[in-house]
Structure formats: structure tokens, C-alpha cells
Amino acid sequence: MKKEKIFTKLSRRSFIRNSVVAAAGVTLLPGALASCSDDDSGGENFTPEGDFGFFEGVASFDPTQQKVVLWTRYTPATNEPTKPSILLDVAKTNDFKDLVVSESVVVDMESDNTVYVDVDKLTSNTQYYYRFRHEKTGAVSVVGETKTLPAPGEVSEVKLAVVSCSNFQAGLFNVYGAVAESNADIVVHLGDYIYEYASGGYGSNETTAALNRQHKPAGEIVSLEDYRARYRQYRGDEQLQKAHQLKPFICVWDDHEIANDAYTDGAENHQPDTEGNFVDRKAHALQAWHEYLPARVSNQTEIYRNFEIADIVNLIMLDTRIVGRNRQLNYVDYLSEAGLNSAAFVADWQNPQRTLLGTKQRDWLSGSLAGSSAKWQVLGNQVLMAKIFIPAELLLLTAQIASGAVTPELFQQYNALVTELVQIKVRLMQGDPSLTEAEKARVQTVLPYNLDSWDGYPVEREMVFASAAGKKLISLAGDTHNAWYSQLSDSDGNKVGAEFAAASVSSPGFEAIFGDNAEVVAGFQLAYPILVNDLDYVDAARRGYVMATFSNNSAKADWQFVTTLATKNTKTDSGKVATES
């Protein structure tokens, strides 16, 4: 099937199949539903067989002032008919005495038995409780909690728990457990919710087998059923279930929901000769994503959307990964025995036609920024927006280490180089007149560290900054597995905002590159904020999330880190608190 037909079909799928209207005092009585559904469920003497129930828990998504999408997955009894109906109850109290909804909804057997219900006509800034139940089998889900967004004037602050990058094989999801126990209003998930790798692949470590966290299915996921099975595994996790049960989520995908370093037409981790057509694989991946992480969008290939929260935050969720991204540049393509062909690289890097967003999304973003009166314009990015430009000679050495060429001699060389460069940069910042031009060039000749991020698409980044002129701009980002606090600056060096980037839920960060060499990691964390002009803070070795708190006066980020992934422990420590005003 041609690409256009596949994605036309995907865009027309009705992922949010059920829609109900909340109306206090007007409910569909469960008894009436039971009598109407006898024939569909096998009659009054029906006895369910096999394993059945709501094994993947419940979840809520995309809250607005009046709406929220409620989710579950129901495993039918082996002797149930196709398309079983279940009951959804929504109430303002957890004893369900104050019902606002009690209606029958349909389990879609063609969407892996998932259920999505868009509940409308709710009250703003209100806590709701919900459950799914099947009267004939007696199965009842856990009670979920969710909350609608506040209208202007209803709250003085908004709390967003920012997460990304949860690799099941890498350890326990203690970060999700901590988020569930936090006072966050909303969880903002910036992608890499699952990983596509095979059992024993990326993320595996000495605890994987002991914790029984090998990926299922065992092979790398490619087919629709593969992706669904991987989501079921992740959603079977106790702590992820708890986070979904207690908090509404707003989600976007990144690359690992499809394949590593994906772009519009391909991915680094896709081999057509053994894994088939990338367009087919992408269609499978996106369909499964919507089945398990439903977004209220009209076209399932376009997940960018925004949420106005109390006139304090305009949360703009972007797709910086799939919908418009040109293939990433790679330094390897510009290297020869003579070194880096900098002229060729810069010409391609600065090409004004290169895009991360695509024209349609970029125009939509400009309109959203222009049309919002919210105090803070908050971009939900998959990848870092801030400039991480490092000395060119350090970039090449870091690339050697990242490639796996780890030796004590290389670490010693790395540490010595970092020390030299930091000393030169400090002298430069202090205005040392004895610095030579050659020394200055060593710290001023810089290159972008990560071409998979906005650093690989600098012209379009300037376009976005121009669209945000006069606004208070905050970027939220994930992807790197490390924590970053950076200033956002334009090509003239003017500050245009700040970035709060979250560490991963479990995926390994720079400590995986540097191994157990704590001295090298510590040196990295100390040196990079000096060497990188816009960087104020980095944590390269811990897993956690960002609690971002917004008010009319400030935007505050608190980087929270768990202490271990090897045993269940949701205790967190604050690594850094930063405030923008």
C-alpha cells in the first residue's frame, strides 16, 4: 500500500470512539443496562471463563476545562461475544454517590481491546473519579482520579511533572511512582514512553534479569501486534499504572515509540532489508501509540496541539520527531583524513530549507504563540531547544568515548583536555589580557554537540524565536536522559527564554558512556556549564523528573531524582531549583 493511502487511513481512524456528556442527576441506571445487555453477554446464567479484567489499569488524557479522555483496556472472558460493552462511571466523590456519568461504552476488538471515552460538559478545575466495570463478568477496574483544567482566575499556580524516556529493561519505574505521589496537576510526557529494542538490547544491565524486566516480545518490535505487546508490557508495570491512575497525562511521541533517531521517512534503527518498509512500520507504531496514549486530535498523524491553563500557561505540545523532520545531519559524512570539512557542514547546517517541524506545524505554532494571552508560552519539545555548543576538539574526543572506545588512556586524555579548556574559558571570562588568539580559538571554535536536537536545525529555531518575540518562553524537553537548565538565546546572543529539560525515567544517561568513572562524570558536570555559554546546570548520572511550577510571577523548575532503580523506592531528592521571572 502506498504511503499516502496508509496515512490517510490512519488519519481517519476514530481512536476516541465513545463520547459521553456529563449531566449531574441524569444517569443511565446500571440495572437498565444489565437487562438490555443480557443477549450480548450470554444471558442471565452467563459464567465467564478464562482470565478476564482490566489488567492494564486506567488512565486519563488531554484534560481541558470541560473535557477529559478516559482510557482502559479490557481482556474479555474466553466465552464472551465480540465487542463487549462495559459501564463507565464518573463521579465527584470516590464512593460514586455523586455520579455525573454512568453509561455503556464499547470495547473495540480491532484496537487491542482498548477503550477511550471523551467525557464532555464537565466543570473546570474539578476533581473527578472514574471506573470501568462489566456487570456480567463482575470485573471492575481500579478507581481512577483526574482533574479538569482551571479557568482564568481559578488558581494561582500550575504544576506540571515533566517526564520522558522510560526503558523497561533499564530498571524499576520509581520515577513514575514518585510522580504519582507528587502534587503535580498534570503529567507532561515528552516521549520515549516505550523502547523498540529486543530483549537484552539497549537498556539492559546487571539488574534486568534479577528484576525480570526483559523486553517482550523478545525481538525488536516491527509489526502492529509487536508494538501492542510492548505497550501491554509497559502498562502492566505497577508504578506506571499508579501514575496513570492518579494523574491526567498529556503526551507526545519521540523516536523510540517507532525506532531510534527516526525522522519523517526513516530511522537509524530501521533496516529495510530485514524489517520491511519503514512507512508500514511507522503506521503500526503510530496506531498502537494512539490506542494506548490517546490524544484529542483530528488527524492521528499530527499530534501537535495546545492547552490553555488558567491564562497562566499556554502548553504547546510539538512533534519535533516525525511529522516534518528532515533527516539528521551526521558529522561522519563530513569527515575525511584531512579532518572536518567545515565549509560543507556549515552550508548544509545553515540551509534555510531544513526543517524540524515542517511548514504546516511551524505556521500553526506561530499562530498559537500570537493568539495566546497566557503569561507563559511553554513548548513541549521532544528534543533540546537550547544551544549546546562545545569546543570542537572536545566534541571529537567525546564522540570517540561515545562510540565505545573506552580506555583508561582515553579517559585521562579527556580529563586533561577538559581541564585545559575550562582554565582557558575562565581566563577569557575574567578578561585575562595574556590570553593568546590561539587559546581563545580553542574555546570559541564551537560545534553543536547533538545534531538530533534543535541544534541540528538552527535556522528554523530562529524562526520560532522570532514568533515568540515579546512572550515569556519556556521550553520543556526530554530525549537526552540527562537533566539540563539552559538559557535560550537567539543568533545575536539575546535571551529569549529558558529551558527545563528532564532526566529520564530509567534510560541510561552520560554515565552509561563514562561507565563507573565517577570522576569523569563529575568533571563533565562541572565543566560543561563553563564551556557551554547558555548552559547553567547539568546532571549526567541520575534518573528523575522536573516539577515545573508556573504562576503569574515566575516559572520554577525543581529537578527531582530517585536514589535507585534496583529496588522499589519512590523517595526523591532535589538536585537543582531554578526560577525564571
The candidate with the shortest Cα–Cα distance to 482, out of 538, 531, 532, 434, is 538
pLDDT tier, 464 (very low <50, low <70, confident <90, very high otherwise)? very high
14 pLDDT more than 60: no
For residue 338, is it left (φ>0), alpha (ψ between -120 and 50) or beta?
alpha
Q: What are 502-526's pLDDT values in tens digits? A: 999 999 998 877 766 777 788 889 9
Q: Which residues, in sequence order, are bridge partners of residue 487?
A: 498
pLDDT the model gives residue 205: 95
Q: How buried is 428 (Cβ within 10 angstroms: 0-12 exposed, 13-18 middle, 19+ buried)?
A: middle
Asked if residue 78 lies in contact with residue 49, where contact means CB atoms within 8 angstroms, the answer is yes
The candidate with the shortest Cα–Cα distance to 357, out of 480, 460, 436, 228, is 460
Position 113, amino acid = N
256 pLDDT more than 70: yes
Element (H, E) at 380: strand 376-380
pLDDT tier, 24 (very low <50, low <70, confident <90, very high otherwise)? very low
Q: Which domains does the chain have, with CATH numbers?
A: 10-148 (2.60.40.380), 153-388+449-506+543-581 (3.60.21.70)
Hey, which bits of 22-77 come out as E strands? 58-61, 68-73
The candidate with the shortest Cα–Cα distance to 183, out of 484, 478, 570, 549, is 549
CA dihedral for 483, 57, 150, 310, sign (positive or negative): positive
Query: Does the reported pTM lie above 0.85?
Result: yes
What secondary structure does DSSP assign to 278-316, as a single string? HHHHHHHHHHHHHHHS----SSTT---EEEEETTTEEEE
Query: What percent of the chain is modeled with pLDDT above 70?
Result: 93
pLDDT the model gives residue 82: 72
What CA–CA distances, in Å, run from 221 to 3, 10, 204, 285?
A: 20, 19, 16, 9
Chain mean pLDDT for the chain? 92
pLDDT tier, 410 (very low <50, low <70, confident <90, very high otherwise)? confident
User: In whole angstroms, what is the distance from residue 557 CA to residue 383 CA?
Assistant: 18
Q: What are 339-366's pLDDT values in tens digits? A: 889 999 999 999 999 999 999 999 999 9
pLDDT the model gives residue 64: 98
pLDDT the model gives residue 5: 55
Hey, which bits of 153-253 come out as E strands? 157-163, 186-189, 248-251
Neighbour tally for 4: CB within 10 Å? 9
29 pLDDT more than 50: no
What CA–CA distances, in Å, run from 440 to 142, 329, 419, 432, 479?
A: 62, 27, 15, 11, 32
β-pairing, 305-309 vs 313-317, is: antiparallel
pLDDT the model gives residue 33: 35
186 pLDDT more than 90: yes
Residues 25-32, mean pLDDT to the nearest whole number: 37
